[in-house]
Amino acid sequence: MLTLVTGNAGFIGSHVAKRLLERGDSVVGVDAVDDYYDVALKEARLARLIDAARASGASYTFVRGNLARPETIAEAFDGRRFDRVIHLAAQPGIGFSVAHPERTVESNIVGFANVLEACRKAAVPHLTYASTSSVYGANRTLPYSEHAPADHPIQLYAATKRANELMAHSYGHLYGLPTTGLRFFTVYGPWGRPDMALFRFAERIMAGEPIDLYDEGRHTRDFTYIDDLVDGIVAASDEIAQPNAQWDGRTPEPATSGGPWRIFNLGNDNPVRLTDYVDALENALGRKAVRRLLPRRPEDMEDTWADLGAAQDALGYRPKTPMREGVARFATWYKDWTSR
């Protein structure tokens, strides 16, 4: 197949593109490669994709540009008929969205609108895109289920991702564009983002600097290892979304629709306390952290926990990496990366 992967210089996007290339699919990648964090890390991820394509004999093309600009999406689609589009490009960062709402809206709303419109015009058979567990926001019914409402986000990043889900629904209703939205739960692993907790903690522990644990480290997260997440993304992309023939607008079911639109959680179904996550990292690095216990911030969710029943039934999604094993793999990669 020929697949467009947006955000393919990013943490998740680079892993997805690599998996597709390794199984022999042709990939076109799009990424702005901006300076939100270390550009050298992004370039190194791109170099891995070139190596993966060479090893498998698959075709790989990279388009450098911002999807919020129409010329970038036009270049990516020019002369190509994509079998799948996997949209992972976004402006990440919950804290960043609080400080820089304009950049979050440009990337996550304008960029996604451009992708939707390009998929409509090109009659793409299936668009799969990243949402987030943060859309559950103020909801306190755990585990989080796609079949429950998700209409109370507590920060702009989550609001833009919920907007993406609704925008995709409108394109399914109006134009029959099949879309699958995937709510990711705290993804971690090798080649991760420097702004994410595991990477930041590792940097500070190795430098002998204190790490900040908000909510005094008491909250839990459904930490999801990158390889398990990629299994789910690829499986979701392969299975084209179909209308739910039993959907009834008088009693609307939130995860499906009368059009070709669906939502899945991709998590680990095993929430872990943040302090236990830090314990695992200390053990993997062979260093103790200096822990600074701080109050919970208003933009932070209290706990997350993914109900995976729908993804298991429809996609065969079953994460298999224990948290301590995944953290150890990250630590091995981190030591190698920082010693280069």
Q: Please state, in angstroms and rounded to a whole number, the distance separating the CA atoms of residues 41 and 50.
A: 15
Q: Half-sphere exposure of residue 29, counting CA atoms within 13 Å on the CB side? A: 32
Bridge partners of 211, per DSSP, are 291
Q: How far apart are the first and last CA of the chain?
A: 35
- For residues 144, 229, 234, 96, the Cα torsion angle rounded to the nearest 10 degrees is 80
Q: How far is CA 251 from CA 45, 167, 170, 310, in A?
A: 45, 21, 18, 19
Q: Please state, in angstroms and rounded to a whole number, the distance separating the CA atoms of residues 85 and 129.
A: 8
Instruction: Measure the CA angle with vertex 84, ends 130 and 153; round to 5°.
Output: 15
* Residue 134, token pair as written in the block: 């943060």
Long-range Cβ pairs for the range 200-206 (8 Å, 24+)? 201/278, 201/281, 201/289, 202/281, 202/285, 202/330, 202/331, 202/334, 204/289, 205/281, 205/282, 205/285, 205/287, 205/288, 205/289, 206/285, 206/287, 206/338
Q: How many residues does the chain have?
A: 340
Supply the residues annotated as catalytic: 157
Q: Please state, in angstroms and rounded to a whole number, the distance separating the CA atoms of residues 62 and 46.
A: 9
Beta carbons within 10 angstroms of residue 177's beta carbon: 24
Q: Nearest-CA neighbor of 145 among 306, 253, 282, 9? A: 306
